[in-house]
Amino acid sequence: MFMTFCFKVSISQCNIEPQCQVRQFPNGFSFGTSTSSYQIEGAWDADGKTENIWDHMTHTRPYLIRDGSTGDIADNSYYMYKRDVEMLRELGVDIYRFSLSWTRILPTSFPDKINEAGVEYYNNLINELLMYNIEPVVTVFHWDLPQKLQELGGWANPYIVEWYADYARTVFTLFGDRVKYWITINEPHQVCHYSYGNSFLAPALDIKGVPEYLCAKNLLLAHATAYHIYDQDFRPEQNGKIFISCSAQWYEPLTESDAEAADEANQFEWKQYSHPIFSKTGDFPPAMKKRIAARSAEQGFFRSRLPEFTQDEIEFIRGSSDIFGLNHYFSYYVNRNDSVNGYYESPSFNDDLSVFYTLLPEWNLGESDYMKSVPWGFYKLLTEIREEYGNPTVFITENGFPTRGGLDDDVRITYFSEYLSAMLDAMEEGSDVRSYSAWSLMDNFEWSSGFTYV
């Protein structure tokens, strides 16, 4: 499939009549759409599935969800997966990215008991997709950790590396004969920072400055372990690809004097997870290590709150992704001045970084308070990935924009047109982008925003 698109150059900008520029993607480029299990499946306790952290949080602390809603039913995809595939066929996509529910497959959280009903659901979905020549791209973990494992410490417990590896090995065995693209973990920054260091996402621990960094180390080791399991034990027969999907927004200096602040914002916000995997040296980004160590010492800690990797661990993680999976939505200007001192709670991730984030008034597209259309930021991000990491193959695994437009969706059309154009600009300069998946296939449960998100 190839895709062409048109975008309008407005009269107010160019003083000419609206015109249409047609651009074509290269042969072999794939288009798709993405979802996640908790957001669409529903059937939260059906057919042997057990509780995950989102089930637990929405049932016990509904006040953390904007409208008090849950994903108990969501889009009911557990029962309506054939309609989901029908919609994908109507869209004409090449790929469909979805995630597996850990507790639907392993109700005890461990491989001692495999839930056949859950396996059957995913087998049916995968087979339905393949019947219509839609390639499944399967995310092993998309935020819905088993509640039992969270009670054992979750991603802050180093044993999570083994627990996750056992789960990954199980799903490679069950589905790998048909799945050729695996995503180990979706958006590690959100998993650690917004779930452990804040209360925006389950389990909403809101313990700042320590567990989010423990989570980061364990998550990267878990990802790399799954990668090596697949590479050594499954790739020779299954011939698939395996990678991580990082959320990366672009952070631009507000003034020339803010160049260091912007560079460090990019290091903290997304290179924390990409640098250990894709850089030549591995390990956490240097500026991040330096700043957290210095702040930890000032605060009276005996060691840095950012745990260190051993040299063996650095080598184990480095290179452990066949593709750079990228979720991107928006950009910020950042700056740093003396007034940031004491602005954020200490210790915390935000205090360690110590920058201010700015959205410009002219970025007025859409109704979201923070998600604005900044296509040039997407271009700069793709350029940075190409130049810093040796031009890895990139799959855009999420990109999208919230509106209340309904069927009158010109704002979203403008967003997609501008972002696809920016992506093509980067590709024409050499960025090896081969796939693009829009978020999302359908309206769904939007985490702590419930069904009210815009």
By annotation, the residues acting in catalysis are 187, 398
User: How far, in Å, CA of 446 to CA of 371, rounded?
Assistant: 14
Residues 194, 198, 204, 208, Cα dihedral to 10°: 120
CA–CA separation, 201 vs 365, rounded Å?
Answer: 26
Helix (H) or strand (E) holding 147: helix 147-151
Q: Which residues contact 341 (CB under 8 A, 6 or more apart)?
A: 354
Q: Where are the alpha helices (DSSP H) in 44-110?
A: 53-60, 77-91, 102-105
Distance CA 386, CA 181 (A): 22
CA 226/CA 167 separation, integer angstroms: 9
Give exposure, 100-136, as e/b (b: 16+ Cβ within 10 Å).
bbbbbbbbebeeeeebeebbebbeebbebbeeeebbb
For 183, the enclosing helix (H) or strand (E) is strand 181-186
